[in-house]
Amino acid sequence: MPVSRPSCKFIISFLVFFVQVAGLTLLAVGVYSAKNATGVAGRYIEARLGKPSLVRDTSRLTIVEALKHPIKVGKRFMSKPQDALEGVVLSPKLEERVRDIAIATRNTKKNKGLYRNILMYGPPGTGKTLFAKKLAVHSGMDYAIMTGGDVAPMAREGVTAMHKVFDWASTSKRGLLLFVDEADAFLRKRSTEKISEDLRATLNAFLYRTGEQSNKFMLVLASNQPEQFDWAINDRIDEIVNFDLPKLDERERLVRLYFDKYVLKPATEGKQRLKLAQFDYSKKCSELAKLTEGMSGREISKLGVAWQAAAYASADGVLNEAMIDARVADAIRQHKQKMEWLKTEGGEKTKGAQPPAHSPSEGTSCTCLGTGKCFTWLWYIFGPGSLFF
Ligand SMILES: Nc1ncnc2c1ncn2[C@@H]1O[C@H](COP(=O)(O)OP(=O)(O)OP(=O)(O)O)[C@@H](O)[C@H]1O
Ligand SMILES: [Mg+2]
């Protein structure tokens, strides 16, 4: 049947209209997808390239850094895995425990398994951060350190910053050990502690991103006051390790370690203006171990630096026994002063507080956070503070 002219015109204009609508729709879809794609790509590049502001220190290299320091990158790829406990002095029991953790982490990385989250707690300067870094290097992972104290000042930005950390962590090819130092500063109880809305929201973001165990990142929390953690945090922890103050044997190893590092080695290498007078070094180190009771690994390492400085300050650059003794006496005095402050602070804190139901004996490792408070009590009752009560 022949088609009349008006209806033919109508069909043509309908087809033109249809093509125009389809074209415009396709264009809109194209623009939308392109915008989305650039957004995704942008976010990916941002996550890949930039170190999030909450991360203080990382072993992870950005593309820019890799281009800037090609030798450093090359060395890193050629380097053999280190001993996880090299230069870390721990009691035999703790050493065995953390060695097991190091082996398990290394094998998890090799087998692309799910990482276990760890909490390390104990007095300041006992090697928590030191071990966390060694653990990452030994396992072949990257590490990133953030500190709890940086979170609260971020206020509203905290949530975005926290998501950025985890977006960035999940793009790591080597797997990332995310170390949260002073974790109690922001992982506090949401119900009882007076925390701001912003901090609560940031904590919620953290909990959201750590709800499932991951094969991309491993969480290592360090704290001096783990009893202040929100219960949801406790629930995410798979392993709790107590870093204690060094006992006599460990102190002797620490004194030897730092005497070697800061005095003996530079003196024998002869590269620096440092010489050592004649005396029985080994006997001296054993003596010093007894004198430094109650001191942390950090305090003992600072002694090593003080001996070195004493030699540099002397006219002839020679370190003798009397100079060593003078620095030790100084360190002991300072340590006593710090313990006095701690005692006063402890007294104020515990005013009106109920004593714990039971006080575990020294050396007991608290293996559950329910008894995490025992650490604080141990510190006041059996710790170095008690030496001066
Ligand atoms: N167990 C240890 N073995 C060897 N060195 C140690 C040990 N503990 C502390 N040190 C020395 O003290 C320094 C500080 O230790 P580290 O930062 O690991 O302490 P920390 O437990 O993380 O303390 P904080 O709770 O204050 O963060 C180390 O870099 C190291 O020189
Ligand atoms: Mg630390």
Q: What's the 126 CA to ligand 1 centre distance in angstroms?
A: 5
Q: Does residue 8 sit within a domain? A: no
Which residue type does 139 have? S
Nearest residue by C-alpha to atom 26 in ligand 1: 124
| Among 242, 266, 287, residue at a domain's last position | 242
Q: What CATH number does the domain containing 123 carry?
A: 3.40.50.300
Q: Does residue 361 sit within a domain? A: no
User: Alpha helices of the chain — where are they, by DSSP H?
Assistant: 5-49, 63-68, 70-78, 92-110, 128-139, 157-169, 197-209, 231-236, 248-259, 265-269, 281-291, 297-313, 321-350, 373-381
| Among 175, 209, 242, residue at a domain's last position | 242
pLDDT at res. 348: 67
pLDDT tens-digit readout, 162-192: 999 999 999 988 899 999 999 998 898 887 6
Nearest residue by C-alpha to atom 30 in ligand 1: 298
pTM: 0.74
pLDDT at res. 386: 39
Q: How many domains does the chain have?
A: 2
**Residue whose entry in the numeric block shows the structure tokens 């392109």:** 34
Give the ligand with the smallest distance to the CA of 123: 1
pLDDT at res. 350: 53
Q: Are 96 and 197 within one domain? A: yes
pLDDT tens-digit readout, 311-364: 999 999 999 999 999 999 999 999 999 999 988 877 665 554 433 333 333 333
Q: What's the 128 CA to ligand 2 centre distance in angstroms?
A: 5
Nearest residue by C-alpha to atom 24 in ligand 1: 124
Q: Are 159 and 201 within one domain? A: yes
Q: Are 134 and 223 within one domain? A: yes
Q: State the DSSP code for 170.
A: T
Q: What's the 117 CA to ligand 1 centre distance in angstroms?
A: 20
Q: Are 112 and 230 within one domain? A: yes
Q: What's the 298 CA to ligand 2 centre distance in angstroms?
A: 10
Q: Which domain holds residue 265?
A: 248-344
Nearest residue by C-alpha to atom 18 in ligand 1: 127
Q: Are 238 and 89 within one domain? A: yes
Q: Are 145 and 92 within one domain? A: yes
Do the beta carbons of residue 176 and residue 215 sit within 8 Å? Answer: no
pLDDT at res. 373: 41
Q: What's the 157 CA to ligand 2 centre distance in angstroms?
A: 25
Nearest atom (ligand 1) to Cα of 224 = 25
Q: Are 151 and 238 within one domain? A: yes
Nearest residue by C-alpha to atom 6 in ligand 1: 297
Q: What's the 123 CA to ligand 2 centre distance in angstroms?
A: 10
Q: What's the 297 CA to ligand 1 centre distance in angstroms?
A: 6
pLDDT at res. 384: 43
Nearest residue by C-alpha to atom 8 in ligand 1: 127
Nearest atom (ligand 1) to Cα of 120 = 21
Indicate the top mutation candidate among 251, 301, 376 to test ligand 1's pocket, ranked by most ligand atoms within 8 A of CB: 301
Do the beta carbons of residue 77 and residue 119 sit within 8 Å? Answer: no
pLDDT at res. 150: 93
- CA distance linking residue 49 with residue 63, whole number of Å: 6
346-371 per-residue burial string, b: 16 or more CB within 10 A, e: under 16: beeeeeeeeeeeeebeeeebbeebeb
Pocket of ligand 1 (CB under 6 A): 87-90, 124-130, 181, 222, 224, 243, 254, 297-298, 301
Q: Are 260 and 325 within one domain? A: yes
Q: Are 217 and 114 within one domain? A: yes
Indicate the top mutation candidate among 89, 119, 129, 295 to test ligand 1's pocket, ranked by most ligand atoms within 8 A of CB: 129
pLDDT at res. 362: 33
Nearest atom (ligand 1) to Cα of 181 = 27
Q: Are 255 and 238 within one domain? A: no
Q: Are 221 and 186 within one domain? A: yes
Nearest residue by C-alpha to atom 16 in ligand 1: 127
Nearest atom (ligand 1) to Cα of 123 = 25
Q: What's the 298 CA to ligand 1 centre distance in angstroms?
A: 5
Give the chain's radius of gyration (CA, Å): 29
Give the ligand with the smallest distance to the CA of 244: 1
Do the beta carbons of residue 232 and residue 244 sit within 8 Å? Answer: no
- Positions in the chain whose pLDDT score sits under 70: 1-8, 10, 14, 29-49, 62-63, 65, 72, 75-81, 192-193, 347-389
Do the beta carbons of residue 47 and residue 217 sit within 8 Å? Answer: no
